Structure 1
């Protein structure tokens, strides 16, 4: 305590130094000296004297003299004008009770003075003593207040609606004032500054103390900016993120738990204004990309008898993302791209170059590592090899990894009422984003390329827009500066659908090589439909793949128990890796598939061949997800080179065309700087943690999900002033507020890695069934009536034997926006429909210790239960109406097509 605090304490205890009780006569000083000398004569210290004085002996003890008893009882009984607390305060505030502050002198500086240990001095010890006493008082009061007799418990037999309706905070606080006054006083001290706290009244002063029961019966005092409400503001933002009604703010504001609704709106407007300024400043550097997608919802007509109809609100949500590790002036220069297209360099594409882009050595090595990682993950005796496998993924098999520790910086933009599903309105979307929100002049926008990302439907609309406006004489209005870039999450979803559809099998036949059979065996609810439920479908594919791989390991090593085998027979990691390569050659290669297929003179095993094909396709998808999570865009590109064939072979022509377009771009048209800028910024990572990368369209889906949730409480369009300025710009802050509040009250799961619930019983049943049916053992002539199509081989034949590549080149040279032929299938994207049960919650996959961790559908369902239940019925009706209108619009004209 400083000198000022000491002086205040003295004044509080004794008033002014001229207190008449403190006589300045010399006789008093002499008397004090005589008493102290008498104490010294008895070989006592002052402490010993006070100890013996107040260590009160028993009544019949001969040391208990009349004089001593009288004087001590009068002092401690409060019958003197000098009170005990004044003496304690004088001891606490004395300059001798704490170390003196050292000062500079002629002989030495203050820093050279040896500091005394304050913990052995009176002030420190008195403070600790007081805290311990208060702690015991609080404990006693808490027991009294919380006991059944305390007055705050309502038993079931005494409960009635009358007691519920008569609930009063004044009554509750009256109980606390009576049985927990010390506890209440400490709460008041924590909540209000000293200048506004009522002073505790003396006992006996009519018993009138500060009553909070009376306080709650009076109107709320006006704010003065001294109510320590920063945590209250955070709590209010958390309420806003959960779309709490206005009345909740009013009640919690009266309780002192939240600021008012008006106050939080002022804060959000201020944050939005600041965010817009930051975005415009960042846009001047040109190191950014924009990603957007459509957002829609239904406003139900609650009284259709009066002519009201359900109304569909359509709009667009966008995000501004800062680019890292690129030189925008060189990367986004329009000349190299324009020259390459004028020279028609893409004519160099043929089926041989397309095949050479697939690095099969790398694919095979990655397959071996994944197979080994699955073995190590399932075998406790091999757990020491996890570090080696993880190191292999990050070094020897790494192709082009994102910079370690990099965190993606993003800024949500305002939503608009423009329908991104309509080609013409994409121009309005771009004008609003670049000119209005980013504040860029048209001449500056047209000077360099701008990456605009989205799903397949979005980039197709952008190409169509550029096609229609290519003849415009004005630079900006041609939209030649737009560089459409397809994002990867929806593409991965399309491949998941392909894998599931190719290997689903016949529902009437128990075919262990089909996903349909595994789905029934495990009791899953996955369906073979367009856009299957994303996470349940991914779990089915990956769980089956891991069971396949473990069964292949048992057969390859000729053992029944893998853990017991490796426990008794330790194997070096390099030898294990060699075994993994052999296993992949036997079960995950095209040669293995051909070997077991039926030939004219040789009876094959079609079930085993189909199982091998299923494992290969599943492993390709598994590698894509792992490469994305690890931020290795080089490995991702290699899998996309394989997908060029599998999408073509399975009839997914639009994604096949998109991948052909990317091949032409990266092989013939993009400059090295532009390729580097795209590759180094195709994925995002919000935490900077390794293994936590994910596609940007998944990020956009997460934003859209929260926007749709918050839009349900307000019957306003997405382009309304309130929604776009208050909600849209701050949407990431709302998501973070939800997480922050859960973390602060310890509701977030330990580790927060959404690790999947162990389902060992189901996994054992799957592996038992495979072993029982001998799925991975050759059985000549085994055939269950199904032959799975090899999508890669079918795509290869279409590229080699048909004019598909030449047609694509001629079509795109004639018209750069016409990458799709008239007969290509339409794509209905997840974000184009309000209700999409496939993405109830958007959570990225992660890689931990070399293993892919997929969010558990049960955890996601639990998290989504509250969010989705209130809007599901409206959105189901809307989905049907929206698809119906989209089909009719597509029949009328291409420009109004809303896929």
Structure 2
């Protein structure tokens, strides 16, 4: 520093200074620096007259009492603007410095205006290191090197002057020297630099300190704190050297060890790794802890669902419902977890995601986002058991619905993947109760409008419980009960279920005018034959790849008039509520009454509310699926034929030749295997007919159509199919095939291709020897027809009716179903299915005479159910109930007890439909492809080709005069006409008339009838004398009165579940018809056949 007494001047540059001259241009001549004088130590280079301010413009005389900004100065000192900005010490004026003699210079006699005063020289701050000043000087810094840096920093070279200041590395060395001298190294300096003070008077940092630190920490500098930390972490001095001591080398093993204290680790890299790990760990712990609490930013996901709530907790927490579990979406849960726990998600993703060139790859089999979400949900439920809705609670319910082993549930619960099984059961009780409460509220609202809210379908459930350890009171028994499901009524006109108009039409008893001829005239065979032709084309297109482009257009024809009659509303998804089962025996009148009352209470049909609404309650039991079941049964009885035969028209011959399902008891057959066997034979015969018509019976129909170009049009195929229907799939064709004269004289459309005249052989005698108990069919002496061709025609017609019935059910066209039901009245009558005949007659009279148009449409619009809302997913309500029953019966077999036990009543039964849906919804939640629950049937192409070859070789569809092979199928429509005409229809009308009289009597005298003095029948079916008072018998009489009363209000089929084969059926008041009923065990086996495990009802 300069000594006291020297004169200082500050230089202010002119903003209009000349630009820097290029090195290729002529440089300005600079003054020559004089030689060093003897008293050079008493002045500085900046005092030289050659550094006159005239070189840089007008100088600024310092000596003002204060600088701008109000900063006080020392006496005789001035502060330049640059010094004020950088907080530099004031510059002494010339008054405080001794005069220095001039050197020989051309500028010696320069004007005082230029220099400021005679004998003084201007002071130019520069970057040349100066000798240290005395610390006692009031005008110098206590830190000499810092003072030198300040003076050097205050100097800004002129743009046109060459760089003469020191390099950045040199200045950095001075800073390091200052740190070493005054701060004990970089650590002390950084500690003081980053020291933090609270706002207020305790602040000790200067404004410059705060500004520079703030600028660095808020990212205003190019070299930011993150760069600083990375530089430290990557520096080679941050880890022990190769030759370091073992103690220091041990610190390398401490890297990323969260249990270490970073303050005790000397080296930077392991210390920083431990510190960063602990910082991130604390952050992740905070995030995971928050996952158990609700977030207003994500109201769609409630982390905690209460399994159950008492009166005190009701309303404080959301409880489980079916919709909350079925709405589980792992992708949405993933997004919520990622948003609420970003640090945890980032770390877990880096651990779970496979990467290629630094990019995360989502694999198809084990996608890392799902695995990450599940892992974090496990962390959350480990910290807070309330965080159960991310994954654990839905998985726990899914395990219950999948009937997982208890050990699996316990282990997954231990790992945090599931909740406890006790929690699941409580949650299911809560969810089932909620669903029934919603149904009761809907029922109350509908009754207030004098409309029914739902209908019920019920069926008996039973399970035979064996005893493995015998003892007193322990015996094998059949546990029975009743289960039901409520189905919401939709698409109903107001007042459709009004009771009074319906009762008035019942009292009129218009069904007494019904005749067999009226029934026959109502059969629309023209419509059925049109539909048959379309089914023939469909079968051909399904078996020929080249023809498959016709299938969409064909499907559109089936869904439009004139084929379609009354289709369900497309896109409609049926809302069902499974009710709690009970232990009442449905087969007994008293049990049916109590079961019905129990189900009415569950849905909210109280006697007072129903009586005030004055409406019809629609309850059903065995319905359209059981009709299908009986249809298959009598077709098997009629068309299976001899077990060992060469007759190509017998189903047994085809089943044996192709190893398809064979029947041991045709009166009780398995539904799905039998149907599959019949459908394979039926389609083979249809393709044989197409081969006969299109390929001249060469056996190359499928191959020729595959290479034919262009393929036949759909219209031409329908025209050909119409010919096939008339010739081979009609009752007229059957009658023609039995008489050679008719074959010769019939129209061309009915003419068969002619084969050789058949000569009988010993095949019938051989079959009689093998099956001596089988009655062989013998033709009349004057028989000239072809019994084999007639049998085939009957089977094609009957199974085509079954195919139309099944297709119409699946497509949701109840109008087409009704057309088949009218034909089945005759067929059931001809097959001696008396109770089913009565039921179908009741339905026919209901829709023709007794139901208004609004009631008929309401019934037709709600007769079928669709649990998915998709096309071709309609099914009968009784089939749906059979699948639910199978689930309940399986639970009884595993858990024991009865159907009245709380576990079955409250936990299982109200959630059966929910369990079946949950399995599919969980697949959707994890974005899995839909996995069919039914067993995929193998292809039957080989069997079909073999059958086509057999029929071609045996000339099945040729007319061979006199051909008969000991088996004759019955024509059931004509047989049914005779049965109805000979007394069955008259008997039905008598019963209907009695009911109408009973209704009229009840309307005139509503008081209950007194018990009869005649002998009554007790609940077990044994006759007892009326002289003995039996309370149970009296109860049964009251039940009979209740039955008559309720059947007077509604048609019996719609009020109670009626087992058509029961001896005490309510529609058949007498017990004269004895008919072998369909075994429930066989029905369960049918439902379970071919992979039907109760889960594919939505498909």
More helix by share: 1
Contiguous gaps of at least 5 residues in structure 1: 1-17, 60-73, 93-125, 141-182, 198-223, 456-486, 842-856, 865-899
Distance 1:861 1:759, change over 3 A: farther
State the match for 1:407 in structure 2.
Answer: 573
8 Å CA contact 2:233, 2:269 repeated in 1: no
Q: Which residue pairs with 1:813 in the alignment?
A: 993
Judged with a 3 Å threshold, the aligned counterparts in structure 2 of structure 1 residues 128 and 716 are, in CA distance, closer, same or farther, namely closer
> Residues 191 and 246 of structure 1: is their aligned pair in 2 closer, same or farther, counting only changes over 3 Å?
closer
Q: Provide the rounded CA distance (Å) in 2 between the counterparts of 1:383 and 1:693.
A: 24
Q: SS of the counterpart of 1:490?
A: helix
Structure number with bigger Rg: 2
Counterpart Cα distance in 1 of 2:228 and 2:392: 49
Matching residue within 620, 623, 631 for 1:495: 631
> Is the counterpart of residue 589 in structure 1 residue 730 in structure 2?
yes
2:91 is matched with which residue?
Answer: none
Question: Contact 2:814–2:860 (CA<8 Å) still a contact in 1?
Answer: yes
Distance 1:423 1:674, change over 3 A: same
Aligned residues of 2:830 and 2:972 also touching (Cα < 8 A): yes
Cα pair distance change 1:58/1:748, threshold 3 Å: closer
Instruction: Indicate the SS of the match to 2:656.
Output: helix
1:758 counterpart SS class: coil
Partner of 1:837: 1085
Alpha-carbon displacement from aligned partner over 1:749-802 (angstroms, at most 9, x marks no partner):
5577876332322222222222221211222222111121111121123334x2
In the aligned structure 1, how far is the partner of 2:373 from the partner of 2:524? 70
Alpha carbons 2:462, 2:889 under 8 Å: kept = yes
1:159-185: CA deviation from partner (whole Å, max 9, x where unpaired): xxxxxxxxxxxxxxxxxxxxxxxx999
1:539 and 2:676 are equivalent in the alignment: yes
Superposed CA deviations along residues 279-310 of structure 1, whole A, max 9, x for unmatched, are 21122211311111111123323332545212
Q: Deviations over 1:791-814 (max 9, x none)?
A: 1121123334x2432232123212
Equivalent residue, structure 2, for 1:262: 422
Q: CA offsets, 1:483-515, max 9 Å, x none?
A: xxxx10001110111111110111231221111
- 1:53-99 deviation digits (Å, cap 9, x = unpaired): 8999999xxxxxxxxxxxxxx9x99734997669999xx9xxxxxxx
- How many Å separate the matches in 2 of 1:424 and 1:270? 31
| Residues 492-540 of structure 1 deviation map (CA, whole Å, 9 limit, x = unaligned) | 1101111111101112312211111122122133324333101001101
**1:500–1:187 distance in 2 versus 1, CA, 3 Å:** closer
State the match for 2:556 in structure 1: 391
Aligned partners of 2:270, 2:598: CA distance in 1, in Å?
78
After TM superposition, give the deviation of residue 384 of structure 1 in Å. 1.2
Residues 706 and 735 in structure 1, CA contact (< 8 A), matched pair in contact too = no
Equivalence for 1:660: 841
Distance 2:608 2:1094 in 1: 48
Q: Aligned partners of 2:345 and 2:422: how far apart in 1?
A: 44
The counterpart of 2:708, out of the listed 568, 577, 595, is: 568
Partner deviation per Cα, 1:228-285 (whole Å, 9 max, x = no partner): 4542112222232344565554333222122112211221221122122112112221
Partners of 2:504 and 2:352 lie apart in 1 by: 80
2:859 is matched with which residue?
678
Matched, 1:271 2:431: yes
Q: Gaps spanning 5+ residues in structure 2: where?
A: 1-189, 196-204, 238-251, 256-264, 281-342, 358-369, 447-451, 742-781, 997-1065
Partner in structure 1 of residue 686 of structure 2: 549
- Whether the aligned pair in 2 keeps the contact of 1:598 and 1:606 (CA below 8 Å) is no
**Does 1:374 pair with 2:539?**
yes
Q: How many residues align?
A: 675
String of CA shifts for 1:39-64, please: whole Å, max 9, x gaps: x9xxx9999x99998999999xxxxx
Q: What is the aligned partner in structure 2 of residue 312 from structure 1?
A: 478
| Aligned equivalents of 1:52, 1:302: Cα separation in 2 | 74
In the alignment, is residue 235 of structure 1 matched against residue 395 of structure 2?
A: yes
* Counterpart Cα distance in 2 of 1:717 and 1:514: 46
1:343/1:429 CA distance change after superposition, 3 Å: same
**CA–CA distance in 2 between the matches of 1:303 and 1:390?**
58
Partner of 1:79: 267
2: distance between equivalents of 1:685 and 1:441? Answer: 30
Matches within 5 A, 1:684-833: 684-741=865-922, 756-800=937-981, 802-815=982-995, 818-819=1067-1068, 822-826=1071-1075, 828-831=1077-1080, 833=1081
Within 5 Å, which residues of 2 pair with 1:125-140? none
Give the match's secondary structure for 1:256: coil
For the pair 1:637 / 2:797, whether they are aligned, the reply is: no
- 3-state DSSP of counterpart to 1:492: helix
Q: Is the 8 Å Cα contact of residues 486 and 576 (structure 2) preserved in structure 1?
A: yes
Q: Residue 523 of structure 1 aligns with which residue? A: 659
- When residues 729 and 513 of structure 1 are mapped into structure 2, their CA distance, relative to the original with a 3 A threshold, is same
Does the CA contact (< 8 Å) of 2:193 and 2:209 recur in 1? no
- Summarize the Cα distance change of 1:22–1:86 in structure 2 as closer, same or farther, 3 Å threshold: farther
Inter-CA distance 187–448: structure 2 relative to 1 (3 Å threshold): closer
Determine if contact 1:531/1:838 at 8 Å carries over to the other structure. no
User: Could you say what secondary structure the match of 1:450 adopts?
Assistant: coil
TM-score by length of 1: 0.68
Cα 1:507–1:861 shift into 2, 3 Å: farther
Q: Map 1:105-504 to 2 at 5 A.
A: 191-193=378-380, 224-244=384-404, 248-284=408-444, 285=446, 286-306=452-472, 308-327=474-493, 330-396=495-561, 397-435=563-601, 438=604, 440-442=606-608, 444-445=610-611, 447-455=614-622, 487-504=623-640
Report how far residue 25 of structure 1 moved.
Answer: 6.5
Given that residues 658 and 819 in structure 1 are in contact (C-alpha distance below 8 angstroms), is that contact kept between their aligned partners in structure 2? Answer: no
2:349 and 2:372 in contact (8 A); partners too? no
Contact 1:512–1:775 (Cα < 8 Å) also in 2: yes
Alpha-carbon distance in structure 1 between the residues aligned to 2:345 and 2:832: 78
> Cα gap change, 1:747/1:713 in structure 2, threshold over 3 Å: closer, same or farther?
farther
Residue 510 of structure 1 is matched in structure 2 by: 646
SS at match of 2:482: strand
